[in-house]
Structures are given as structure tokens and as C-alpha cells.
Amino acid sequence: MPAGPAGPVRFVAYYRVSTERQGRSGLGLDAQREAVARHVAAAGGEVVADFQEVESGKRNDRPQLAAALAACRAQRATLLIAKLDRLARNARFLLGVVEGSGEGGVVFCDLPTVPPGPVGKFLVTQMAAVAELEAGLISQRTRAALAAAKARGVKLGNPCLRAGTPEAARAATAVRADASRARAADVLPYVEAARSAGCKTLREVAAALTARGVPAPAGGRAWHPMQVKRVVDACRG
């Protein structure tokens, strides 16, 4: 995005690491700063302020993020973040940040096609809504699979530990397999969309799922290549 008539694009950078150890060592932080620097250079912009947070992605009370949003509103700047998962792990929080960023909106270096300003804010809002819908559908399908297993007479929980019989162990395995297949069926369309968009390797597909905001297994935010392979294998089976 080139500089406008009023001067270069103004950015407020926000960095987050999860632990004090990462903050001291620069682990993760250096990569974020490098991504931000590349984006700013490509945009012909300037960083007017930057803020760094050492906080879990699960927590919503982040004083440095609040300060960054205030700086964006005061200076009519765009909030710039290296990766979507450095900002939020849930849709409601992401929407709150988008609304609080002011006119400039939010730009993610790993989603360079999303522009700043009102259009970018709209696109990020839609992404958050899709992510929330996906999470709800996956949860719904998992509950349905468990309910169907219960209707067949399967004892839920951990029947292997409770009953200690081979039959109970097989039943528990079947419940987990049903839930896994249901979840894989929900995720597969996004895997296929990533491949249609040019992603050829499992690593590239995993990165696309992460950027899209598709919830990863076990409540994680970032996808890994082997998790993508399990989704594809489950749907083939």
C-alpha cells in the first residue's frame, strides 16, 4: 500500500509473547519484529509507536494492547500485528479489538491481502464470524456423535478405566473415532479450499487453516502438518 498524499501510512505495532522466558530471550519476538519490519517497508509506511505484551493468548485483559488501541485512535494509525494468533484466540475478543482500533483498522502481516481501514475491518469481522461459526459447528457435531454413541448403549466418560474390560475399551475408542470423523468432515472443506488456492504441501495447508482461523485440534490455534494429514486420512477412511 503506497504512501498517501498526507504522508506514509502510520502503524502502531503490537507484539505478544506467552511467557517471561520468551520475552527475555526474544524467542518469537524477533520473528514478529522482522515480519512487521518487512510489512512496513513494503507499504512505504512508518511505525509511530510499538507495544509489547507478555501474556497468555487466553487472557483478554491486556494493558499493552489497550494502550496500542488508544495510540491508534489518537494518531489515526493502523494496528499492525505479525500474526493473527498473536492477537486473539476467540472471535469475540478479536471483534472487540477491531472495533476499538479506530479508523485505521487492524492489519496482520500473515494476511497481507486484508487492507487497512473500513474494508479491512469488515473482512476481519467476517473472518471472526466464520471462525466462531466453525467452532460452534464442530462442537455441535462432536456432541451429536457422543449422543448417538450413548443411544447405542455406550457408557461415556472413560469406560476403559471404569469397567476395565476389552469391550469397554473398544467402545471408548469408537466414541473417539466418531467424534474425530465428525470434526474432520467439518474441516475438510477448508483443506480443499486451501489446496484450490495453491497450497501444495501439508505445511502450507496448515498455515492456511491457521490464518483462516479454523480451530485446531484440542483447542489449539495453530495447525501442524500432521494434524492436516489426520483430517484427510479420517475423511478417506
What is residue 214's DSSP assignment?
A: P
Q: What one-character-per-residue DSSP string does 102-162 give?
A: -TT-EEETT-TTS-SHHHHHHHHHHHHHHHHHHHHHHHHHHHHHHHHHHHTT---S-HHHH
The residues near 4 (Cβ < 8 Å, ≥ 6 apart) are none
Q: C-alpha distances in angstroms, 138 versus 99, 128, 174, 183?
A: 27, 15, 18, 6
The residues near 106 (Cβ < 8 Å, ≥ 6 apart) are 78, 79, 80, 81, 87, 97, 98, 116, 120, 121, 124
Task: Say if residues 80 and 69 touch (Cβ distance below 8 Å).
Answer: no
Please give the positions annotated as active site.
18
Q: The cell 489426520 sits on which residue?
A: 230
- Of 73, 128, 60, 131, nearest to 105 by C-alpha is 73
Q: C-alpha distances in angstroms, 81 versus 22, 84, 107, 165, 206?
A: 17, 7, 6, 52, 20
